[in-house]
């Protein structure tokens, strides 16, 4: 099964390496790329979507919506990751395994070296710690309440129920919890990608938190209480 890769970029800083890794390791996969024309026009991809940069949520919603017109599922890829030779294949293999269990699937996300703890390549769920050496559970699919979609699959069934909120920071947190409320389950795949980290929306964590907080307090006050009042 071919599943397209969708990418939204702000400045294309890490984009050449990502696109080259897709070309080398998954050359048959269609690419939907969104971003400013001054950046996106430089690249030979299947579908280009031009537009001013708004925020992570709105920008990814637009490119996912476009791809979902042609496919029943997509893989979201941050513009600051690099695929390994097995990243795409292992992610899609795990999607098929979970489908065979007749689950109500939300996100199925790759692991990485710079990502939230549950997806970290060295996270040991048995002890809730990061380990430096390999351990048995690295070869297993694991459930997760919230994932970061740096390289992650989602199907049209979940996407029709909920999309990203108009945020740079916390957009994935809100989206995952909204889907969980609707009965969807998220998973971490054995697939791995290298992640440069925080190139897509910037590195100023205080600023990103300040931008997101008013929307979350107004639209998801129950989430705001958990995240900002503890």
Quote the pLDDT of residue 117.
83
pLDDT band, residue 137 (cuts 50/70/90): low
Residue 215 domain flag: no
Give the torsion through C-alpha atoms of 69, 70, 75, 77, to 10 deg.
-80
Tell me how far apart the alpha carbons of residues 6 and 21 are, in angstroms, rounded to a whole number: 14
Quote the pLDDT of residue 54.
86
CATH number at residue 26: 3.90.550.10
Residue 35 domain flag: yes
Quote the pLDDT of residue 135.
59
Helices (H) and strands (E) in the chain, counts: 8, 11
Contacts of 39 (CB under 8 A, 6+ apart): 9, 11, 12, 15
**pLDDT of 219 strictly over 80:** yes
pTM: 0.90
**pLDDT of 88 strictly over 90:** yes
Tens digits of residue pLDDT in 27-65? 999 999 999 999 999 999 989 999 877 888 999 999 999
Interval 150-163 mean pLDDT: 97
Count of structural domains, the chain: 1
Tell me how far apart the alpha carbons of residues 136 and 190 are, in angstroms, rounded to a whole number: 11
Quote the pLDDT of residue 108.
98
**pLDDT of 191 strictly over 70:** yes
Residue 208 domain flag: no
Quote the pLDDT of residue 199.
59
Tell me how far apart the alpha carbons of residues 138 and 125 are, in angstroms, rounded to a whole number: 10
Residue ranges making up the domain that contains 36: 5-202
Residue 146 domain flag: yes
pLDDT band, residue 109 (cuts 50/70/90): very high
Quote the pLDDT of residue 200.
63
8 A C-beta contact, residue 25 and residue 175: no
**pLDDT of 134 strictly over 70:** no
pLDDT band, residue 139 (cuts 50/70/90): confident
Is 106 buried (19+), middle (13-18) or exposed (0-12) by CB count in 10 A? Answer: buried
Q: Which residue has the higher pLDDT, 18 or 123?
A: 18
Q: To the nearest whole number, what is the mean pLDDT of the chain? A: 89
Handedness of CA 91, 153, 109, 58 (dihedral sign): positive
């Amino acid at each position: 099964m071919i599943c397209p890769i969708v990418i939204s970029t702000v400045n294309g800083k890490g984009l050449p390496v990502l696109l080259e890794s897709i070309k080398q390791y998954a050359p048959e996969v269609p690419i939907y790329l969104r971003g400013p024309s001054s950046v996106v026009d430089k690249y030979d991809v299947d579908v280009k979507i031009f537009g001013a940069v708004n925020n992570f949520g709105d920008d990814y919603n637009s490119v996912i919506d476009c791809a979902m017109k042609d496919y029943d599922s997509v893989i979201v890829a941050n513009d600051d990751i690099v695929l390994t030779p097995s990243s795409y294949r292992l992610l899609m293999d795990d999607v098929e395994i979970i489908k065979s269990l007749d689950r109500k699937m939300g996100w199925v996300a790759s692991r990485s070296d710079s990502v939230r703890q549950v997806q970290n390549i060295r996270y040991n769920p048995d002890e809730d710690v990061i380990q430096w050496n390999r351990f048995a559970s690295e070869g297993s699919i694991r459930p997760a309440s919230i994932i970061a979609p740096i390289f992650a699959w989602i199907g049209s069934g979940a996407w029709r129920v909920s999309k990203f909120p108009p945020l740079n920071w916390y957009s994935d947190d809100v989206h995952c919890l909204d889907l969980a409320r609707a009965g969807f389950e998220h998973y971490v795949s054995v697939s791995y990608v290298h992640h440069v980290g925080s190139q897509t929306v910037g590195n100023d964590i205080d600023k990103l938190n300040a931008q997101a907080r008013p929307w979350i307090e107004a639209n998801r006050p129950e989430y705001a209480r958990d995240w900002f009042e503890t």
